[in-house]
Amino acid sequence: MAESGGRRIGVAVDFSECSKKALNWAIDNVVRDGDYLILITVAPNMNYEEGEMQLWETVGSPLIPLSEVSEASVMKKYGVKPDAETLDIANTAARQKSITVVMKIYWGDPREKICEAVEHIPLSSLVIGNRGLGSLKRMIMGSVSNHVVNNVACPVTVVKAHH
């Protein structure tokens, strides 16, 4: 993937307002012409019967080109429904910045799967949103961004949600 020398910038997206803010921030502040923008999403665990899908559940999907991410029929087989706003942000960036945008889908615990993505792709840097949970909710549910920051080797930027 890096034959042209472009950096691999990952953005964790779950199609929430917070992840859209992180995507916009990454495009405005990190991504340069020639880079690869890799949208990393983690879907809930699914039960698969086909061998190929079982393989994807372990290692994540292949890198999916943005043109296919925009097709509902393609995304349905992965169990992911990207929203129109996220697709518009990614398509606009691809046109304006001369970048390659792809998506990689994992299934399972977002904390673990985002860390795996950083290692396996591998990423030059990662941008992730922070939902801004209160201290009690964060203690009970755990913070994905906090876990990722403390467990990956690449630079991580956490874009905070402002309510």
Question: For the CA atoms of the chain, what is the radius of gyration?
Answer: 15
| Contact by Cβ (8 Å): 82, 16 | no
The tokens for 14 are: 């779950």
Which residue ranges make up each domain of the chain? 8-160
> For residue 163, what pLDDT is reported?
56
State the pLDDT at residue 142: 52
Q: Which CATH architecture has domain 8-160?
A: 3-Layer(aba) Sandwich (3.40)
Question: For residue 44, what pLDDT is reported?
Answer: 77
Let me know how long the chain is.
Answer: 163
**pLDDT at 125 (0 to 100):** 96
pLDDT in tens, the chain (163 residues): 544 468 999 999 999 999 999 999 999 999 999 999 999 999 877 665 544 556 677 789 999 999 999 999 888 888 889 999 999 999 999 999 999 999 999 998 899 999 999 999 999 999 999 875 555 544 444 578 888 989 999 999 999 876 5
Tokens coding 118: 């950083």
- 132 CB contacts (<8 Å, ≥6 apart)? 18, 160, 161, 162, 163
Question: b/e per residue, 98-133, with b = 16+ CB within 10 A?
Answer: ebbbbbbbbbbebbebbbbbbeebebbbbbbbbbeb
pLDDT score, position 47: 60
Q: Rounded distance, CA 44 to CA 107, Å?
A: 6
Q: What is the pTM of this model?
A: 0.87
Tokens of 72: 């509902």
Give the Cα-Cα-Cα angle 22, 25, 26 (nearest 5 degrees).
Answer: 85
